[in-house]
Structure 1
Amino acid sequence: MGDLAVVTTKPKEPGSSSIKCPVLNATNYTVWAIKMKILLKLHKVWDIVETEGTDDEKNNMAMALLVQSIPEALVLQVGELDTAKRVWDAIKTRHMGADRVKEARLQTLMAEFDRLKMKDNETIDEFTGRISEISTKSAALGEEIEESKLVKKFLKSLPPKKYIQIVAALEQVLDLKKTGFEDIIG
């Protein structure tokens, strides 16, 4: 997932800066989309991707950033599209799939979430990472997992032999419906 394309831009002030564009591959769409959205916002062109406005300068900048961050084979497929929004939507459709595929992916993720248990040899950070990854992928597919559900899943999935006293204490002291996921981990 580590490929990066370096884009040199000329800001309004003298000098230049290098921005690293993430490079899309077959397995990193969700992370790529998050990073690209931030990059497009940094360059003040995300609005043109979101709404397909008529500002040619913004559209050209957004198109340049998008084309820099996708493989050549995909450039050939989206090269004839004339707006950054159409390019973004084409990439999204290709990697997120049609609604049925999206729904199937979501169901698979939710089943994985339901089966999730912390392994005996796993650290809290590793387990938290797995929960967060499923939550992020689910959100990218349009389904936010409520924070209270993440908190309950985390506490229920800890091995009881190691953590029963901690879990019991947290359940007695905190209102789990109002406690954030990051707070419970801390």
Structure 2
Amino acid sequence: MAGSDDENPPPPPPQQTPTQQAPHTVSTIKLHILKKGEYDIWAMKMKHYLSYTDYPIWEVIQKGNGPVSVSTDTNGVIKVLPPKTAEEILARERERKARTTLLMALPEDHLAKFHKMTDAKEMWDAIKSRFGGNDESKKMHKYILKQQFEGFSVSNSEVLHKGYDRFQSLLSQLEIHGAGFSTEDAKQKFLRSLPSSWSQVSLVMRTKPGVDSLSFDDLYNNLRVFEFDVKGSTGSSSSA
């Protein structure tokens, strides 16, 4: 009986094809964490990593993902509309995945600064601006950002939310480069930057009790309440 076992050995385990092994190989690749003074090598490794594991995500980071659909409710607050088509759903999912991937590759002490950014391409460019280049170029960029803050203004033809978005983007860049301003300074600067048609509202808001406790977003939402009246008064004065 023992001899019969030798004559019929158990079959060898099935071998995996290269195609079957590929997903395991990809999953074992570690995400490269950005370290001080190593931006160039980090960017190169991230490019190879993303190109190999998920090329569409790399395309989102490099080229952007297109504008999202927005609407304005009865109170004038702008809201991002949920995706409807299969293409929009896929594009939104790729944007989230690209943004999450970049955040996971950043050191923990810098996460809070970049977490506010919702656009992966903008985040990639900001990472390069913050960590790439030499100390002199970084110092110059910080100086330029501060000059842009001091000279910031909202034009008469600019919708309030456009000026708000521009200012928020500038604040994010300043914070990333270690040149951020306090919330109080940012609020006061934005109020002073509004066009002449907002002068009365701006004065009221600057002297309003409790304005110090408002966040910058709360200040913006308070200003939105007055936008219709400001537009109306501007239209009346121009027609007169």
TM-score, normalised with respect to structure 1: 0.53
* Aligned residue number for residue 142 of structure 2: 106
* Aligned residue number for residue 153 of structure 2: 117
Q: How does 1:1-186 map to 2 (within 5 A)?
A: 20-21=57-58, 22-24=60-62, 38-39=100-101, 46=104, 50=107, 92=128, 96-160=132-196, 162-186=197-221
Once the 2 structures are TM-superposed, how far is the Cα of residue 93 of structure 1 from its aligned partner?
Answer: 7.9
> Residue 177 of structure 1: SS of its match in structure 2?
helix
Distance 1:93 1:140, change over 3 A: closer
The answer to whether the Cα contact below 8 Å between 1:148 and 1:176 also exists between their aligned partners in 2 is no
| Equivalent residue pairs, number | 124
Distance 1:93 1:136, change over 3 A: closer
The answer to whether the Cα contact below 8 Å between 1:116 and 1:157 also exists between their aligned partners in 2 is yes
Q: RMSD between aligned alpha carbons?
A: 3.8
Q: Unpaired segments of 5 or more residues in structure 1?
A: 10-17, 26-33, 52-68, 71-87
Structure 2 CA distance for aligned equivalents of residues 145 and 122 of structure 1: 24
> Residue 103 of structure 1: SS of its match in structure 2?
helix
Q: Which has the larger radius of gyration?
A: 2
Structure 2 CA distance for aligned equivalents of residues 101 and 36 of structure 1: 27
The answer to whether the Cα contact below 8 Å between 1:109 and 1:138 also exists between their aligned partners in 2 is yes
Structure 2 CA distance for aligned equivalents of residues 183 and 163 of structure 1: 17
Structure 2 CA distance for aligned equivalents of residues 104 and 35 of structure 1: 33
Once the 2 structures are TM-superposed, how far is the Cα of residue 40 of structure 1 from its aligned partner?
Answer: 5.0
* Amino acid corresponding to residue 109 of structure 1 in structure 2: L
* Aligned residue number for residue 60 of structure 1: none
The answer to whether the Cα contact below 8 Å between 1:152 and 1:176 also exists between their aligned partners in 2 is no
Q: Unpaired segments of 5 or more residues in structure 2?
A: 1-49, 64-95, 109-119, 222-240
TM-score, normalised with respect to structure 2: 0.42
